[in-house]
Amino acid sequence: MNEEQNECNEQPLFGMFGIADDSGGHLNVNDNDGVNYRQNMCLICGFKPSKYRCPCCEANTCSLNCCKMHKIQFDCNGLRNRIQFKRLSDFDQKQFLDDYFFLEDTDRSIDAFRRDKRNIVKSLETLPPWLKKLRYEARVHEQGEAKPFTCVDHRVAENITIGKVLEKYVKPNNDCEWQKKFALYQSAGFKSICVLLKLQINKYLEIELSNTVAEALNGKTIIEFPTFYVVLKDAKHEFEIVDEDEMAQIERDMQERAYKKLKTNHPSECYNYSDNGDLGNLITSDQ
pTM of the entire predicted model: 0.45
Nearest of 196, 194, 199, 228 to residue 122 by alpha carbon: 199
Decide: 192 and 186 in contact? Cβ < 8 Å: no
Q: Give the span between the Cα atoms of 97 and 137, in whole angstroms.
A: 50
Q: Give the span between the Cα atoms of 99 and 116, in whole angstroms.
A: 26
Nearest of 32, 35, 74 to residue 57 by alpha carbon: 74
Q: Reduce the DSSP state of residue 14 to 3 states and report it.
A: strand
Q: Which amino acid appears at position 244 of this protein?
A: E
Q: Give the span between the Cα atoms of 278 and 123, in whole angstroms.
A: 23
Q: Which amino acid appears at position 19 of this protein?
A: I
Q: Give the span between the Cα atoms of 166 and 86, in whole angstroms.
A: 50
Q: Reduce the DSSP state of residue 224 to 3 states and report it.
A: coil
DSSP 123-181: EEE---TTSPPPP--EEEEPTT-SSEEEE------TTSBHHHHHHHHHS--S-HHHHHH
Q: Reduce the DSSP state of residue 95 to 3 states and report it.
A: helix
| pLDDT value for 152 | 59
| pLDDT value for 136 | 45
| pLDDT value for 147 | 46
> In a structure prediction context, what are the per-residue pLDDT tens digits for the chain, which is 287 residues long?
444 444 444 443 333 333 334 444 443 444 444 444 456 788 888 888 888 888 888 888 999 999 989 898 888 888 888 887 888 888 888 888 888 888 998 888 888 877 766 655 555 566 565 554 444 444 444 444 444 455 656 678 888 888 888 887 777 777 777 677 777 777 788 888 888 888 877 788 888 888 888 888 887 877 777 888 888 888 888 888 888 888 888 777 877 777 777 666 554 444 443 333 333 333 333 33
Nearest of 175, 114, 117, 113 to residue 149 by alpha carbon: 175
Exposure string of 113-150, with b = 16+ CB inside 10 Å and e = fewer, is eeeeeeebbeeeeeeeeeeeeeeeebeeeeeeeeeeee
Question: CA angle 77-83-84, nearest 5°?
Answer: 85
